[in-house]
């Protein structure tokens, strides 16, 4: 699947089939995260792959918006260590993983709002690490994702040369 198609078609999906993610697929997803760029190439991240149903269920109770974690066959936690730009670096790595997964037919849905201390306790993560997210992954239940993406129009968010300039002076 070409990159733009992956970007264009990817949906955040919360319902997954009761089907294991093959080892090779998991390793490919993690590799996409490993290859991500980061501030001064510091690679300040740890990725924890979680497939234990008990842990996934416990994780789902550490956030008000993560019920789907309990149904997922896999979740990947991203934590950073001594990062200069923890959210930026962590998000770039996870966005790589999400797109690489989607190319392989695996959906995901970013979750925020975690009780960070509770997550770190469940994952035995050292206190000084910073939790960026725990993202569930799984084969989507919906086979045909028909819904159009709901997004603002380009005109609402794109400016040329300076904020508020909507006409592109370089357009021919």
Length of the chain measured in residues: 172
Nearer to a second copy, 7 or 117 (CB): 7
Q: Single out the residue of 18, 27, 5 nearest to residue 139, CA to CA.
A: 18
Alpha carbons 49 and 20: distance in angstroms, whole number: 13
Nearer to a second copy, 50 or 71 (CB): 50
- Which positions from 58 through 117 interact with a second copy, judged by CB under 8 A? 79, 84-85, 87-88, 90-92, 94-96, 99-100, 102-103, 110, 112
φ and ψ at 48, to 5 degrees?
-115, 120
Tokens representing residue 171 in the block: 């357009």
- Pull the structure tokens for residue 145: 């994702």
Among 7, 19, 53, 117, binds a second copy (CB under 8 A): 7
Q: How far is the CB of 141 from a second copy (least distance, A)?
A: 19
Output the smallest distance, CB 143 to a second copy, in A: 20
Identify residues 133-152 at the interface with a second copy (CB under 8 A). 133, 149-152
> Which DSSP symbol is given to 139?
-
Q: Which tokens belong to 22?
A: 């093959």
Q: Which of residues 14-53 bind a second copy (CB under 8 A)?
A: 23, 27-28, 30-32, 34-37, 39, 41, 43, 45-52
Provide the token pair at 121.
């306790």
Comparing CB distances to a second copy, the nearer of 17 and 47 is 47
């Amino acid at each position: 699947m070409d990159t733009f198609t992956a970007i264009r078609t990817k949906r955040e999906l919360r319902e997954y089939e009761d089907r294991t993610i093959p080892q090779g697929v998991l390793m490919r997803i993690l590799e996409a995260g490993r290859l991500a760029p980061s501030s001064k190439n510091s690679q300040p991240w740890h990725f924890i792959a979680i497939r234990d149903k008990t842990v996934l269920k416990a994780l789902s109770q550490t956030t008000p918006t993560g019920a789907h974690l309990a149904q997922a066959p896999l979740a990947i936690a991203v934590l950073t260590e001594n990062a200069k730009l923890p959210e930026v670096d962590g998000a770039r790595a996870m966005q790589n993983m999400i797109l690489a997964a989607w190319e392989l037919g695996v959906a995901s849905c970013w979750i925020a709002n975690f009780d960070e201390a509770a997550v770190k306790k469940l994952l035995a993560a050292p206190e000084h690490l910073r939790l960026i997210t725990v993202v569930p992954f799984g084969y989507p239940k919906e086979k045909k994702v028909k819904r159009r993406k709901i997004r603002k129009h380009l005109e609402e968010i794109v400016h040329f040369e300076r904020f508020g300039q909507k006409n592109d002076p370089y357009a021919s």
